[in-house]
Structure 1
C-alpha cells in the first residue's frame, strides 16, 4: 500500500505532470547513457521505497525518449539530463495523458467508482494492442507500469508475454515498491535500477514544490525529517499533528507482539472521526513497518518463511480494511484494534 491509497490533505501532483526530479542523479545518468548508446535494454525495473520518485523518473525517461526519437542525434549525445521543457508538445501531451506513444498501466476505478486493488488482465492486454497496432506517432513506444506490484497473476502473465518478444523501439518502465516480490520471469527480462531514499534536503525541496509551501517552513522540515527519504510520506505528514501520530504509532509497533489495550484506545481516539490526514499518517506508519520487515526477511537466507507468508497475508488484509475505512468513513478505533490484533498474531 502506498500513500496514494489514503489521500492526504495535500494532494501530490501526478508523476506525469512533474517535470523536476530531486536526487537520483546516478539513476538518471544510467538511463541517459543507455539510451544514447543505441543499445538500451527494452525493459527496466525501477525499484525502491514508496514515494521517493520512481514514477517521476519513469515519466521523465518516457518524455525524453518520445521527444528525442534518435539516440544518436547531437542533442541526445550532448544532453546532461533527461529534462524536457514543460512547454514542449511532447511534455504537454504526456502531462495530459494524451500522447500516442505512451501507455500507462495503473489501478483504475471500477464501475462503482471505487479504486481497484489491482491492475487487471484486461487492462494489461492493452499493451498487446498498443505495441501491435500502427503507430499513432513515429518512433518509440513506451509503457509505464505503476506499479508492477499491483498486477494480479493473470495480468503479470499477460505482461510477460509482451516482454518475452518485445517489438522494435519499445521501452518498458516497470515501477516497483518491492522488487524482490516481482515475478522472477519478469525480473529476468528487466535491467534493475534500484533507487535509494532521498536526502532530507531533497525531500524538503520536492515537498515544498508539490505542496506550494516555503522551503523554510518549520512544519515541512519536521515532516521531511520523519519521512525517511519519501516525498509522498512527507506530504502525508504535512498536516495537523500527523508527525506526532506517526511517532506514537511507531512506538506501539515496537512493542509487538505485545499490545496494550489502553494505548490502542488512546491511539484510536487520536485518529478522530473524519481526519483523513491522521488516518493517512497511521496507515503509512503501518505500511512502512510491515514493508521493512518483509524486505528484511526476504534478504535473510535463514528467514522464517511461514512467518513471512503470514505477514504478507496480514498486510493484504490491512490494505483492504484501511481502504474500506477511508472509502466509507468508518470508525477508526476498530481499525486500530484490528490492525494491531492481526500484526500481533502474525509476529508471535
Structure 2
C-alpha cells in the first residue's frame, strides 16, 4: 500500500494511483450507465460504487469525477473516458480543483502512516463544501469518499445528513468494499453500481497484454488468486504475490511437518518494512489454503472443524491486524500457528 499522502493509501505495487489512471478494464456497462445519466441531465446526487477490492472501484470513481467536473469526453478511453491532456484532468491530478472534495483516511505525519478510519471531522467537511459556490462548469461540485467502509459511526451519521439534503448540482461518489455493512439509510439514498470482476481467463489475458505477466500460467495464477479483479491481479504480479501464495500453500500442505525455520522465514518476509502490500496477499492465501484443507477433510469424511476454526481465527486476525496496529511479525506467526494447530489435531 502507498505511504505517499499526495496519492492516497490505495496505490498497489505495479499500479498507477486511481487519480492518475485513465484506463479501466472490464466495466463498460457501469461506465455507460453513469455516462448516460450525466448526458441526460438527470444525474443522481449519490452513487454507491461497490465490488471486491482491486476490481477498479476507485479508478472508476476518479473517471466519473473528471467527467462530472467538465472534462471533455474521450471515447478512445471508454464511455467515461477523458484525455490526460484535458485542463480539468490536469487540475484534478494536481489536487488543485476547488470543486472536488476527497474524503479519505487522514495521514498521520507523526507516525508516517494512514490513520485507521475516516473521522467525523473529515465527514463534516462535506456540508461546508457544498454550501460554497462552484468555480466552474455551470456549478457542479463532487465529493468522493474512498472508502465509506473506513468511516467510523459518527462520520457515517454526519455524511447521512448531507445525503438526506441533496446539494444542488452536487454529486457524492462513495466507494464501498462491503456495502452490506453500511446502514440501510445510506444505501437507500444512493444509486448503486456493482463492479464485478471479469472472468479469470479474461483478466489473465489482459495481464499478458499489459506485460505484467511473462506467460499465461503465471497470469492465470495471479488472476485466480485475485478472483479475476484486474488491479489486484496486477499488484500480485508486480509484488511477487504469486510466488508468496505458492509458499503459503506449501507450508499449509506440510501441516505439522512444516519446520519452525520455514514458518519464521515466511513471517519475516511479510513483516519487513515495505512489505505492507504483501500482507493482504499472505492472509488471503493462508485463508484460502486453510479453507481448501477443511473442504478436503469433509470430502474424505473427516471432521473439518479444526480447520474451520483455524480459518475463522485467521480471518479475524487479518481484520484486526491493521486497525489495531498489531505487530506484523507476531501476527503472521500467530496466523500460521492456527494452521499448524489444525494440522496437529488432524494427525491425532
TM range (shorter): 0.7 to 0.9
Q: What are the residue-to-residue correspondences of 1:317-328 with 2, within 5 Å?
A: 317-320=320-323, 324-325=327-328
Relative distance call for 1:159 and 1:321 in structure 2 (3 A) is closer
Conserved 8 A contact 1:264-1:337: no
Q: Contact 2:71/2:89 (CA < 8 Å) preserved in 1?
A: no
Q: Which shows bigger deviation, 336-345 or 120-129?
A: 336-345
In 1, the alpha carbon distance for the partners of 2:44 and 2:260 equals 50
Match of 1:91 in 2: 89
Q: Distance in 2 between matches of 1:245 and 1:175?
A: 29
Instruction: Using the TM superposition, give the Cα deviation of residue 314 of structure 1 relative to its aligned residue in structure 2, in angstroms.
Output: 4.3
For residue 232 of structure 1, report the CA deviation from its aligned partner: 3.4
Q: Which residue of 2 aligns with 1:44?
A: 47
Indicate the structure whose relative CO is greater, using CA pairs within 8 Å and at least 6 residues apart.
1
TM-score by length of 1: 0.74
Written as runs of structure 1 = structure 2, the 5 A alignment for 1:190-205 is 190-200=190-200, 203=203
Task: Specify the alignment match of 2:61 in structure 1.
Answer: 58
Q: Tell me if the contact between 1:146 and 1:175 (Cα under 8 Å) persists in the aligned partners.
A: yes
1:162 to 2:158 alignment: no
Mapping 1:223-302, distance limit 5 Å? 223-239=222-238, 242-249=241-248, 260=256, 262=258, 266-273=262-269, 280-287=277-284
TM-score, length-normalised on structure 2? 0.74
1:136 maps to 2:135: yes
The reply on whether 1:217 has 2:220 as its aligned counterpart is no
Structure 1 unaligned residues grouped into runs of 5+? 70-74, 292-306, 326-331
Determine which of 105, 108, 118 is the counterpart of 1:107.
105
In the aligned structure 1, how far is the partner of 2:285 from the partner of 2:157? 28
The alpha-carbon deviation at position 108 of structure 1 amounts to 2.2
Partner of 1:44, secondary structure, is strand
Distance 2:206 2:95 in 1: 22
Instruction: Give 1:18's match in structure 2, choosing from 11, 15, 21.
Output: 21
Distance in 1 (alpha carbons) for counterparts of 2:253 and 2:148: 30
Any conservation in 1 of the 2:25–2:230 contact (CA below 8 Å)? no
Instruction: Give the total of aligned pairs.
Output: 313
Deviations 1:124-166, CA, capped at 9 Å, x for gaps: 1111111011223342111111100000111111111101001
Q: CA deviation at 1:221?
A: 5.6
Contact 2:226 2:232 in 1 (8 A): yes
Deviation string for 1:37-69 (max 9, x for gaps)? 322221111100001111111111111111169
Does residue 1:117 correspond to 2:116, yes or no? yes
Q: Which has the larger radius of gyration?
A: 2
For structure 2, list consecutive stretches of 5 or more residues without a partner in the other structure.
289-308, 342-348
Contact kept? 1:106, 1:119, Cα under 8 Å: yes
Does the C-alpha gap of structure 1 residues 2 and 89 become closer, same or farther in structure 2, counting only changes over 3 Å?
A: closer
SS at match of 2:101: strand
SS at match of 1:281: helix
